[in-house]
Amino acid sequence: MLDQLNQIEQSALQAIEAVQDEAALERWRVSFLGRSSPLMQVFDQMGTLSKEERPLIGRRANEIKKALETALNGRTEALRQAALAHSLASERLDVSLPGRPLPLGRLHPLTQTLREIYRIFAEMGFQVYRSREVESDEYNFQLLNMPEDHPARDMWDTFYTTTPGVLLRTHTSPGQIHVMYQYAPEPIRVILPGVVYRYEQVSARKDTQFTQVEGLAVGRSITFGDLKGTLADFARRMFGQKVRARFRPSYFPFTEPSAEVDIECFLCAGAGCQVCKGSGWLEILGSGMVHPTVLRNGGYDPEQYSGFAFGMGVERIAMLRYKIEDIRYFWANDLRFLEQF
């Protein structure tokens, strides 16, 4: 019997050395310490032993049971440590590695240009006023001194809706009427940014949708000198302190007198190049003194109030600033274009 016990101990301790995972350890426990293991059978047979044998065998069997339990605990702990070490190794983090660069978004070149324009006019005391993109014929044309069949309407090829008298605004100028109507007879100094629509043949220079910034100042003693000073200052802040502006007589139905503003070509400094088509000047906006009829339509008495207005194309300004050759790039969503700004 003692030999048998020694045998059990030896093979159990040998077998546990080969155990590499929890499942194998459980199998080991069942076969060496489980209910029907040879060791437990020895305990079960105690009753059949003689009086002399019983304490000897009993003590030895208990010793072995303790030894096997100790071995089991030791192995359990060893496996746990090994698993931990393994997971630590696989989760290792090298804190000295440089971080992964995140792709950075950026503002659209038109947004950048618009914000620059807002900043400049804000410094001069202009507020931003937003008005609708779907307009009535009345606001887009009639109240701007263009009754039905007025020949000047030909300056704006228009997208009409299926509702009579409702169209997509062809310029931001109808916003002038909205803002005057809302604030008359208070003095006004606002810019009106927004998208406008024209029924055009799309080309490198013309798109059916583009952005304008309109300006309007109305008060009791506003003169053409204020218009000149404001726009010449804007040109310098936008394009550079040395840039000169010139005012060319022009015609718009809603201003009298009207002027177009050119700036000296900053690419050739006035010498003449491809961009300014050899003239040395670049046209950047239309402007003028608000027509008395328009002032009256906005709720101001033209005998007491006067004002100036202007309107510029933002794509055109961005094209000049960044030397962009095709207006279609702005709405094409091509990252190769956008990532340059």
Provide the binding-site residues for ligand DAH, judged by CB under 6 A.
171, 173, 214, 252, 255, 286-288, 309-311
Least CB distance from residue 111 to ligand DAH, whole Å? Answer: 21
Structure tokens at 159: 């997208």
The residue among 31 and 208 lying less far from ligand DAH, judged by its C-beta, is: 208
| Length, in residues, of the chain | 341
SS3 state of residue 207: coil
Least CB distance from residue 155 to ligand DAH, whole Å? Answer: 7
The residue among 131 and 255 lying less far from ligand DAH, judged by its C-beta, is: 255
The residue among 109 and 194 lying less far from ligand DAH, judged by its C-beta, is: 194
Among candidates 233, 234, 258, which has minimal Cα distance to 247?
258
The residue among 72 and 317 lying less far from ligand DAH, judged by its C-beta, is: 317
The residue among 113 and 258 lying less far from ligand DAH, judged by its C-beta, is: 258
CB 167 within 8 A of CB 137: yes
Residue nearest to ligand DAH (CB): 311
Least CB distance from residue 171 to ligand DAH, whole Å? Answer: 3
Alpha-carbon distance of 243 to 226, in angstroms, equals 19
Among candidates 214, 218, 254, which has minimal Cα distance to 231?
214
The residue among 37 and 170 lying less far from ligand DAH, judged by its C-beta, is: 170
Q: How many CB atoms lie within 10 A of CB 210?
A: 19
Among candidates 310, 198, 307, which has minimal Cα distance to 252?
310
The residue among 286 and 298 lying less far from ligand DAH, judged by its C-beta, is: 286
Residue with token string 């779907």: 134
Alpha-carbon distance of 310 to 255, in angstroms, equals 9
Structure tokens at 46: 């105690």
Report the interhelical angle of 314-322 vs 224-239 (nearest 10°).
40
Least CB distance from residue 255 to ligand DAH, whole Å? Answer: 4
Structure tokens at 269: 């400094």
Alpha-carbon distance of 172 to 227, in angstroms, equals 18
Least CB distance from residue 315 to ligand DAH, whole Å? Answer: 13
Least CB distance from residue 120 to ligand DAH, whole Å? Answer: 17
Structure tokens at 62: 């208990």
The residue among 264 and 283 lying less far from ligand DAH, judged by its C-beta, is: 283
CB 307 within 8 A of CB 189: no
CB 188 within 8 A of CB 219: yes
CB 120 within 8 A of CB 237: yes
Least CB distance from residue 309 to ligand DAH, whole Å? Answer: 3
DSSP 148: T
Structure tokens at 149: 């069949």
Alpha-carbon distance of 263 to 323, in angstroms, equals 15
Least CB distance from residue 108 to ligand DAH, whole Å? Answer: 22
Least CB distance from residue 230 to ligand DAH, whole Å? Answer: 12
The residue among 60 and 256 lying less far from ligand DAH, judged by its C-beta, is: 256
